[in-house]
């Protein structure tokens, strides 16, 4: 996790260096007419699932589970953007699909922990500096996210889900090899904790203090928390039209 955060930090610093280096000869943004774009990309999200990792540690100690802690989440997204004519401003709409899991085995069978879900973020983007090749941007937005989880510990299992509203913001660069085709690199910070998860299916007695259909899932007497918060690094393809 620390290595991922360092890599993302270096990527952000590289973006800033390229954007403000005199060799790039970037001009103040705001030219041209209105335009549309579509973007398709892959993101890594450093979502720290502390409560689930606590369950995994207990399983390793009590059931000799081979399951490792949850690592980074993968996120696939598509995006539509409209840039306002003669300005440096644009709006965009970004839905995404999130996946995060870890699996293993121990006494009694499999010890698997899986999360999947979606986010939807309308965002506002500003292009303060750009030229024909490089477009430096900053962005922020508010949105919604939802995660579904499946936990299997031997013969016991629980399925649950929860959602919440959150916020995001970051910076990035479009490298446009032609007017229509660009490579996009972004670094964002997202705040989207999910404080409450409700069980939809329960079998046996997984390592939770409460797991009952239709009720909140609890660990050690408190709500089981998941999250879509973290540092997000993105690599994407952008098509302008």
Predicted confidence (pLDDT) at residue 219 exceeds the cutoff of 80: yes
Work out the mean pLDDT of the chain and round it to a whole number.
90
The H or E element spanning position 168 is strand 156-176
Fold of 2-240: Porin (2.40.160)
Contacts of 143 (CB under 8 A, 6+ apart): 94, 119, 120, 121, 122, 123, 165, 166, 167, 168, 192
Length of the chain: 241
Per-residue pLDDT band for 77 (boundaries 50, 70, 90) equals very high
pLDDT, one tens digit per residue, over 178-193 is: 999 999 999 999 999 9
C-alpha span between 232 and 4 (Å, rounded): 10
**Is residue 42 very low, low, confident or very high in pLDDT (cuts 50, 70, 90)?**
very high
The model's pTM:
0.86
Domain range summary for the chain, segments of one domain joined by +: 2-240
């Amino acid at each position: 996790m620390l290595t991922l955060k360092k890599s993302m930090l270096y990527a952000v610093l590289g973006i800033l260096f390229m954007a403000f280096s005199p060799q790039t000869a970037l001009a103040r943004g705001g030219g041209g007419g209105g335009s549309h774009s579509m973007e398709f990309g892959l993101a890594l999200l450093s979502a720290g699932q502390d409560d689930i990792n606590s369950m995994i540690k207990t399983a390793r100690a009590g059931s000799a589970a081979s399951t490792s802690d949850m690592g980074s989440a993968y996120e696939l997204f598509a995006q539509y953007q409209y840039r306002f004519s003669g300005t440096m401003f644009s709006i965009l709409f970004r839905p995404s699909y999130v996946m995060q899991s870890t699996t293993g085995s121990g006494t009694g069978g499999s010890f698997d922990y899986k999360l999947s879900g979606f986010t939807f973020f309308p965002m506002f983007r500003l292009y303060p500096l750009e030229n024909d090749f490089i477009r430096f941007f900053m962005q922020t937005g508010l949105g919604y996210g939802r995660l579904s989880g499946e936990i299997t510990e031997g013969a016991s299992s629980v399925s649950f889900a929860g959602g919440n509203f959150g916020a995001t913001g970051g910076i990035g660069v479009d490298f446009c090899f032609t007017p229509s085709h660009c490579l996009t690199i972004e670094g964002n910070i997202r705040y989207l904790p999910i404080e409450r998860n409700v069980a939809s299916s329960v079998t046996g007695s997984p390592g939770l203090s409460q797991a009952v259909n239709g009720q909140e899932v609890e660990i050690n007497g408190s709500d089981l928390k998941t999250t879509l918060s973290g540092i997000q690094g993105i690599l994407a393809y952008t098509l302008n039209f």
